[in-house]
Structure 1
Amino acid sequence: MTESADSKPSSRERILVAAATMVSENPTARLSVRAVAARAGVSTGSLRHHFPTQRALQDAVLAGIYGLAFPSDPIHDTDTPARDRLVGCLRQIIAPVGTGQQAREALGTTYRMLIAAEPTEDTRQAYLAIERQMQHRVEHWLSVLADEGSLPEGDNAQRAKFLLTVINGLTLERALPGSESALISENATLFAAVDSVLSG
């Protein structure tokens, strides 16, 4: 029995799978048009048809990765208070970092790639793409809360930047030795940050 044409992945799907695979193999991969097209088995023209710019391709790949990483988004669970939902969403960002040795290894990798030496243009672009996608994700959560009336009017881009700065600090704390449980301290910090945002 032969596979029908409908069951074969489209060229757009093949491009996204190829690009996501390249990112998983090397998180700093630049995703050049030629390399991704070759990996996907499509022409560069086909890739440009679906993704006119490199940024469009990077954003689509990262959106797919985050969609797989966070399949059930708690922001839509209106049976839970807005405060708890937003904290739950922020925990999704920090959870993959782990704690203790796992967090130290993650921080060490980040330090070597982005801080110890001058980042390459490829490294810089990869980091900016991830940062942009995280910003979009947090802004989305805030817009959901604003639409339902749980968040006063304001600059959601600035609020998202603030919350991501808190997350960056908590990520660092997870890797450092502390006098108390990092998770207990982290919980209090997340609620304080969310309360600050929700109060206007």
Structure 2
Amino acid sequence: MHTREKILKAAAEMIAEDVTTTLSVRAVAARAGVSTGSLRFHFPTQRALQDEVLTRIYEHFIPGDPIRDPSRPARDRLVECLRQVLAPAGVGTEARQAWATMYQNFIAAEPTEQVRAAYQAFDRTSARRVEYWLSVLADEGVLRAGDRTLQARFLMTVLNGLALERALPSGHSVLHAETETLYTAVDAVLEPGAP
């Protein structure tokens, strides 16, 4: 196995064992049995390593991911991907039940180390998925320059607000308003005029 593949395999195993793990250069190099210099040769930054690992993981588990269809406009693809995050929450009764579960598990519960770790694992997994989508768009040159982690956090905050809105009583079309909000959020992270 080539060094690059050994590094990627070690990093993927670390994520599989603990989704909250941070892929530090030293830890991944030690796990792969390579020097940190060798790791840096193949992946000059921690971000480059993380992006490649996430790309491989998501290509394996979600082979038809809409973010990878360059025949469609980037903003439409990103909105569709963000909708995938919202879909499991449902609308109305389903959304209220999802929020009730979230409240019971993470807000009403005593914030023990176990509760914190469980929430952080959930949050980190969601953020990594959004960061992956943004990395694909960055590679295409349509993502605004800036801190990708912050951009992902912004989009996650929008998604959390929309998920909550799905649970609240409304007199208007939630899905119509949601679509407008998603496009506004996506336009904030894409280059102006991005297709």
**Quick check: TM above 0.5?**
yes
TM class, shorter-length:
0.5 to 0.7
SS of 1:59 mapped into structure 2: coil
TM-score, length basis structure 2: 0.67
Give the C-alpha shift of residue 71 in structure 1: 5.2
The answer on 1:127 being equivalent to 2:119 is: yes
Kindly report which structure 2 residues correspond to 1:130-141, keeping only aligned pairs within 5 A, or say none.
130-141=122-133
- How far does the alpha carbon of each residue in 1:163-188 deviate from its partner, in whole angstroms, 9 at most, with x for none? 00000000000000012011111111
TM-score, length basis structure 1: 0.66
Give the C-alpha shift of residue 51 in structure 1: 5.8
Rg larger in structure: 1
Cα-Cα RMSD? 2.5
Give the C-alpha shift of residue 189 in structure 1: 0.4
Give the C-alpha shift of residue 155 in structure 1: 1.0
User: Of residues 59, 71, 88 in structure 1, which corresponds to 2:19?
Assistant: 59
How many residues were matched structurally? 146
- Partner residue, 2:154: 162
The answer on 1:147 being equivalent to 2:139 is: yes
Partner Cα separation in structure 2 for residue 161 and residue 90 of structure 1: 13
Alpha carbons 1:113, 1:119 under 8 Å: kept? no
- Partner residue, 2:66: 74
Structure 2: 5+ residue stretches without partners: 1-11, 21-53
Runs of 4+ in structure 1 deviating by more than 2 angstroms, as ranges, are none
Partner Cα separation in structure 2 for residue 92 and residue 132 of structure 1: 16
Structure 2 vs 1, CA of residues 56 and 148 (structure 1 numbering), >3 Å: closer, same or farther? same
- How far does the alpha carbon of each residue in 1:30-55 deviate from its partner, in whole angstroms, 9 at most, with x for none? xxxxxxxxxxxxxxxxxxxx967xx7
Identity between Structure 1 and Structure 2 (%): 53
Alpha carbons 1:75, 1:144 under 8 Å: kept? yes
The answer on 1:95 being equivalent to 2:78 is: no
Give the C-alpha shift of residue 199 in structure 1: 3.5
Structure 1: 5+ residue stretches without partners: 1-49
Partner Cα separation in structure 2 for residue 140 and residue 51 of structure 1: 18
- Partner residue, 1:192: 184
